[in-house]
Amino acid sequence: MSFAPYPRPVREIHQLELTTRCNLKCKYCPHWPELPRAKEDMAWDVFEASMALVAHYVAQGTQGELSLTGIGEAVLHPRFLEMAAISRQVIGPTRPLVITTNGLLFDDALCAALAPLRPSVFISLHRPERAALAVVAAKRHGIFAGTNEAFATSAFDWAGTQKNWTPMVSAPRIKCEYLRAGWGVVLVDGRVTTCCLDADGSGVIGHVDDAPESLRLKPWGDANKGCASCHMSVP
């Protein structure tokens, strides 16, 4: 695959932030001490516009997996199951539907309800003693894809947006796949950003209501925040 120079066109919506609310408040997260954005759930009209945008990239043949994740815990959205079902319908039966969760609410009943959608569920080890129960339930229903311990073992400062703690371990230096491959992220309010770590919305390039061809990715931020201070490098 060849890539255009910056700004590069968005080729898929890779991540959909259903909520900025969370049932944890970890010191290595932008939720500590307070999230720099409003804590809210995605409005239904924003979700519908997001699905229309995803459908555009599906029709274009460039949409890959869709991940229901973001700065909050997606399961907290009151219409989470409905959103997951519609997401599966829009992306079709073969593209991965990824859900990342801290596992606190991932019980047997929720896993059973999700199972027909065949999601790939990744459980973050924010609270290992609770995550273990979620792993068991997800495995029982055939939707477990793995655990995510990066937040605990590879500390990073969210591209310069979390300066309230001292990382104990340096995250590995890797190339940013979002910039490289043209992955867009839809924030809870419908804005589209360049970055999966854009905790305060500084890397916004447009909105889900904008024409798809106007959404173009580029490195963002300054010397203290954004691509220059991220553990991922600009490809």
Integer Cα distance of 62 and 53 in angstroms: 12
Reduced to 3 states, what is the DSSP secondary structure of residue 160? coil
What's the sign of the alpha-carbon dihedral 65, 66, 71, 76?
A: negative
Q: What is the mean pLDDT of residues 209-215?
A: 97
- Does 77 fall in a domain? yes
pLDDT computed for residue 57 by the predictor? 98
Integer Cα distance of 33 and 3 in angstroms: 39
pLDDT computed for residue 167 by the predictor? 53
Domain containing 229 equals 8-233
- Does 140 fall in a domain? yes
Q: How many C-beta atoms surround the C-beta of residue 214 within 10 A?
A: 12
pLDDT computed for residue 157 by the predictor? 58
> What are the residue ranges of helices labelled H in the chain?
44-60, 80-91, 108-114, 128-140, 150-153, 177-181
151 φ/ψ sector (left φ>0, alpha ψ -120 to 50, else beta): alpha
Residue 86's Cα: distance from chain center in Å? 17
In tens, the pLDDT along 40-56 reads: 999 999 999 999 999 99
User: What is the number of domains present in the chain?
Assistant: 1
- Does 186 fall in a domain? yes
Tell me the pLDDT of the chain averaged across its residues: 87
The CATH number given to whatever domain includes residue 52 is 3.20.20.70
- Does 3 fall in a domain? no
Q: Which residues face 217 on adjacent strands?
A: 8
- Does 1 fall in a domain? no
35 pLDDT more than 90:
no
pLDDT tier for residue 29 given thresholds of 50, 70 and 90:
confident
In tens, the pLDDT along 108-161 reads: 999 999 999 999 999 988 888 889 999 999 999 999 999 987 665 555 555 555
pTM value? 0.90
pLDDT computed for residue 230 by the predictor? 76
In tens, the pLDDT along 41-97 reads: 999 999 999 999 999 999 999 999 999 998 899 999 999 999 999 999 999 999 999
In tens, the pLDDT along 160-189 reads: 555 555 554 455 667 888 898 899 999 999
Question: 182: exposed, middle or buried (C-beta count within 10 Å: 0-12, 13-18, 19+)?
Answer: buried
